[in-house]
Structure 1
Amino acid sequence: MITTKGCGGSRAAVMMVMIFFATGESEDGQRLRFQVELEFVQCLANPNYLLFLAQRGYFKDQAFINYLKYLQYWKEPEYAKFLKYPMCLYFLDLLQFENFRKEIVNGQCCKFIDDQTVLHWQHYSRKRMKLLETGANQQGSQTPVSQSTAATGNPTPTTLPSSLINGHGQIQKV
Structure 2
Amino acid sequence: MRLLKPATLLALTLATPIVAAPAPKIAATSFAQLKTPLPLPYDEAANARAQIAAARARAKAGHKFLLVDLGGNWCLDCRILAGTMDLPALHSFLARHYEIVTVDVGRFDKNMDIAAHYGLDGHFGGGVPSVLIIDPRTDTLRNAGRTAALADARTLTPQALADWLAQWTR
Shorter-chain TM-score bucket reads under 0.3
Bigger radius of gyration among the two: 1
TM-score relative to the length of structure 2: 0.25
More helix by proportion, 1 or 2?
Answer: 1
TM-score relative to the length of structure 1: 0.24
Which structure is higher in RCO with an 8 Å CA cutoff and minimum separation 6?
A: 2
